Amino acid sequence: MPSIHTLAPAAAATVLRGGGVLAYPTESVWGLGCDPRDAAAVHRLLAIKRRDPAQGLILIASQRAQLDAFVRWDALDAARLDAVYDSWPGPNTWLMPCPPDTPTWLRGKHATLAVRVTAHPVAAALCEAFGGALVSTSANRSGAPAPRSIDALDPELVAALDGVVAGDTGGDAQPSTIRDARSGTVLRG
């Protein structure tokens, strides 16, 4: 693979604010991300990945407050909310009730939105530099294996991006656990 020019989180945040799509390391695999409020950027990310928009996407954040506009914390009872909060930061994604006006480009065909407060230092620094939550989906074409190192990124996919954030994955063996926030049911373990 040819050498990949990487960006620090601050430079990457500028790219994101301009509608860019980036690759960056997460807890277990490399991810693709963009501004979740930018419909054109999200649709471009979905096209690059060749992902069915009906599947919905995950948002990551460096702190809970970055998710406030996207989820309805008040839709959970205290015990369920404590379970969500106690699992963060970390590789725990929750399907949360979301406001009815949450765009379908984020939630797909679902009435929930998948969210996580990441513990990965580079992904968290990217959210901090950007000043909000980011779309996070594995940096692979749909159906292909998710890359666990920068060298495993598909060169064709990288060529379609606006940048790659420097760093390494956190080394977790599996992608984040996904649970339903209302029931606690594990959907991906």
Going by C-beta distance under 8 Å and a sequence separation of 6 or more, which residues neighbour residue 156? none
Q: What is the pTM of this model?
A: 0.94
- Neighbouring residues of 69: CB distance < 8 A, sequence distance ≥ 6: none
Structure tokens given for 94? 């929750």
Residue 138 parent element (H or E): strand 134-138
State the pLDDT confidence band at 176, using cuts at 50, 70 and 90. Answer: confident
Q: Which of 122, 1, 105, 140 is nearest to 62 (CA)?
A: 122
Give tens-digit pLDDT for 7-36.
999 999 999 999 999 999 999 999 999 999
8: left (phi over 0), alpha (psi -120 to 50) or beta: beta
Q: What percent of the chain has pLDDT over 70?
A: 98
- Domains present along the chain, CATH in parentheses: 6-188 (3.90.870.10)
CB 28 within 8 A of CB 175: yes
Smallest CA-to-CA distance from 114 within 86, 139, 136 is with 136
Tens-digit pLDDT profile for residues 103-157:
999 999 999 999 999 999 999 999 999 999 999 999 999 989 999 999 999 999 9
- What value does the mean pLDDT of the chain take? 93
Per-residue pLDDT at 1 exceeds 80: no
Give the per-residue pLDDT at 105: 93
- What whole-number percentage of the chain has pLDDT above 90? 87
Q: What distance in Å separates the CA atoms of residue 131 and residue 68, rounded to the nearest whole number? A: 13
Q: How far apart are CA 137 and CA 150, in angstroms?
A: 15
- Residue with more model confidence, 25 or 176: 25
